[in-house]
Amino acid sequence: MSINFKTYSDSWIKAVNDKDTNSMTDVLSNDFTWVNDRFNFKLDKKETLDWCKDTNFKAVDFLCCYENEEVIVGTHNVIEPNATDSTVMFIAKIEDGKIVSHQYLREFQR
């Protein structure tokens, strides 16, 4: 399976918004990590899938900034109940057709 921005963003939308993690399970490598160094946040594949099922966030308006066979760079907006909307920028690294890491920065309107 070839991973690209559309496949990856669609898997996030299904997982977070619809609580269907099947496609997310397929695109993430077994040693996947989701990190945010600023907040000392790090989840593995299982923890990421569990987070997607449990969160009340909605992910919308995905935009691809750059992609090739090794990396996907994009943005999306986050809608969180009782919070200011925010924007996420992410870099997802690809190895052997799977996402091995997803690093993100989340900023709120200022």
Domain assignments of the chain as residue spans, ordered by start:
5-108
- Per-residue pLDDT, 110: 45
Q: What is the pLDDT of residue 48?
A: 97
Residues 77-89 as b or e (16 or more Cβ within 10 Å = b): ebeeeeeeeeebe
Q: pLDDT by residue for the chain (110 residues), tens digit each?
A: 579 999 999 999 999 999 999 999 999 999 999 998 777 889 999 999 999 999 999 999 999 999 999 999 999 999 888 888 888 899 999 999 999 999 998 776 54
The pLDDT value given to residue 109: 58
Q: Which fold has domain 5-108?
A: Nuclear Transport Factor 2; Chain: A, (3.10.450)
